[in-house]
Amino acid sequence: MKIPNGLQPLVDDGMIDAVLRPLKSGKEASVYVVRCGDDIRCAKVYKDLAQRSFQARVQYQEGRKIRGSRQARAMGKATSFGRKQMETAWKNAEVDALYRLADAGVNVPRPHGFFHGVLLMDLVCDEHGHSAPRLGEVDLIPELARWYHHDLIADVVRMLCLDLIHGDLSEYNVLVAAEGPVIIDFPQIVSASGNNAARAMLLRDVHNLRDSLARFAPELANTHYGEEMWLLFEKGELRPDTALTGHFEFDQREADVHAVMMSIEDARQEAIIRQQGREAAEQQD
């Protein structure tokens, strides 16, 4: 096939010997099957996205470390330079995460480098050696559904122990490999301790997996692994080998709305006083 523009630099540098076929194309990247020496791998070519896409990323980027104060200021102001830095950070987040997750034993495609905006990684295959299908594309017997759910929950725990949450986990970014499920697509990965929406994202991820696999093993619908692991994480008691039960006792107490509103009002008044103090100090200067 004709070599895509995004892969030409890797071909020129000898990192890719041949582009065999396209694998998939989405809003953020196109993936191709390539040959690197004797190995068949895949190459993820990231697309440059329009400014409108950055607004949807804000919730995921909270808590991420930014290299350099100039880059951080530019990203906060959404300048042209800032948008380029945000784009670079978005791509690097997936690359960095894949290396960390693979080293920690999470079932992800093992990366083989990031060159010219292209991520090289293992091609995930099924038992016949073909490109693995997505979890949402296969029918499962109950035993397989339970096995896949067990393995995926274990991977989510391993990720959380690294202070990471996938952030967009569903049956569409889990591949069914010969050895079991493999999680893919990590550009939106979230810091568990640094993002205010981390708990909600974790529960969404776990519930998506639960609801998908409960179609084949209905008893999974009554489990609450996300709530259980988050509680242990908050207590500092979650470990990669923690044995979860899927059971969780929800707090049935009624919220004291009046007390909450009073706390919000106190915080608002304190913020006003601090702002007035800053303004007065600036006037004196």
Question: If you write DSSP's letter for every residue of 175-213 in order, what string do you get?
Answer: EEETTEEEE---TT-EETTT-TTHHHHHHHHHHHHHHHH
Domain ranges of the chain: 5-235, 257-285
Rounded to two decimals, the pTM is: 0.79
How far apart are the C-alpha atoms of 177 and 120, rounded to whole Å? 18
The confidence score (pLDDT) of residue 110 equals 96
Residue of 227 and 282 predicted with greater confidence: 227
- Mean pLDDT, rounded, for 98-105: 97
pLDDT band of 267, cuts 50, 70, 90: confident
Beta bridge partners of 120: 43
pLDDT band at 31 (very low <50, low <70, confident <90, very high): very high
Question: 5-235: which CATH topology?
Answer: Transferase(Phosphotransferase); domain 1 (1.10.510)
Alpha carbons 232 and 203: distance in angstroms, whole number: 14
